[in-house]
Amino acid sequence: MKSLAELKAIRDRAKAQLDLRKENPNAARVLVGMATCGIAAGARPVLNAFIEEIAKRGLTDTITVTQTGCIGICQYEPVVEVEVPGEEKVTYVKVAPEMVPRIVNDHLVNHNVVTEYTIGAIKK
């Protein structure tokens, strides 16, 4: 059974690393659209996939994942915006959990935008 004592142990372990995890102003941001339209289109598993993939690669200090509202392109949900400091913001559309590892690897790690998943590719 999960107990608060166990949580205390987690705190003590995390505290030791706390100095290393100071708020990083240069962190890249992943914004997942989680309004009614996004949620209905399946944004929740996408958000989970990003969190898991980023945790798996140990990138939680350099990439933050957050929810955002509706940006007005409901027909393309789930929509994910990726903001890497110093680079142009990229909007990925109709994102499925299977596409997430590639976005993390190619775009967030290696700075190559996955063009075929972007809104520019789908609108043509």
Partner 1 sequence: MRELSLNVMDVAQNSVRAQAKVVTITVAESDREDRLTIEIADDGCGMTEEQVQQVIDPFFTTRTTRKVGLGVPLFKLSAEQTGGSFDIRSKQGVGTTTTASYVKSHVDMTPLGDINDTVKLLIQCNPQIDFVYTRSTDQGSFTLDTRELKEVLGDVSLDTPDVLEWIKDYLEENTQNIVGGAST
Give the per-residue contact string, 69-98, with partner 1 (x = CB under 8 A; - = no): xxxx-x------------------------
Q: What is the 3-state secondary structure (H, E, C) of 46-105?
A: HHHHHHHHHHHCCCCCCEEEEEECCCCCHHHCCCEEEECCCCCCEEECCCCHHHHHHHHH
Give the per-residue contact string, 15-54, with partner 1 (x = CB under 8 A; - = no): x--x---------------xxxx-xx---x--xx--x---
Instruction: Quote the tokens at residue 106.
Output: 């190619």
Residues lying near partner 1 in the complex (CB under 8 A) are found at 1-2, 4, 6-8, 10-11, 13-15, 18, 34-37, 39-40, 44, 47-48, 51, 55, 60, 66-67, 69-72, 74
